[in-house]
Amino acid sequence: MEQLTLFDDERISRKKDPQTSKQAAREMHTKLPKTQQALFAVFSRSVSALTANEAAEIAVKGLTDVRANVETFRKRTHELVRKGLIRECGTRCCLITGKNVAQYRACDET
């Protein structure tokens, strides 16, 4: 049996969730496209490739008009990869974490 994600079948929360959780899920559902757009803007404006954490730090520091925490932005990276907006382009040491991780850049429009 395949487990549904939070947003499958237009359901944004489980029936048994408390009302506050349902409200939070609805709010996150409306914010998701804006956070993806803001993070994509960071990748597309960057001259060099960025790690997910580096891009998230830039987004949080106010170079976008969306206000969210680092973790919220960082998690959007793989969503942008799945949508074909950014691509993985090797690995290197992240300036934020000090770990060897994947780096990404915006896909060419050509």
- Going by the DSSP 8-state scheme, the letter that residue 4 receives in this structure is P
Owning domain of residue 94 = 20-106
CATH code: domain of residue 101: 1.10.10.10
Q: Is residue 95 part of a domain?
A: yes
Q: Is residue 7 part of a domain?
A: no
Question: Would you state the structure tokens that stand for residue 63, as one six-digit string?
Answer: 């170079």
Q: Is residue 8 part of a domain?
A: no
Over its length of 110 residues, how does the chain's per-residue pLDDT go in tens digits?
Answer: 344 444 433 345 567 778 886 676 566 555 557 888 889 889 988 999 999 999 999 999 876 667 788 898 999 999 999 988 899 999 999 999 999 999 999 987 53
Q: Is residue 76 part of a domain?
A: yes
Domain count, the chain: 1
Contact 55, 46 (CB under 8 A): yes
Q: Which residues contact 106 (CB under 8 A, 6 or more apart)?
A: 40, 43, 44, 46, 85, 86
Contact 37, 90 (CB under 8 A): no
Q: Is residue 97 part of a domain?
A: yes
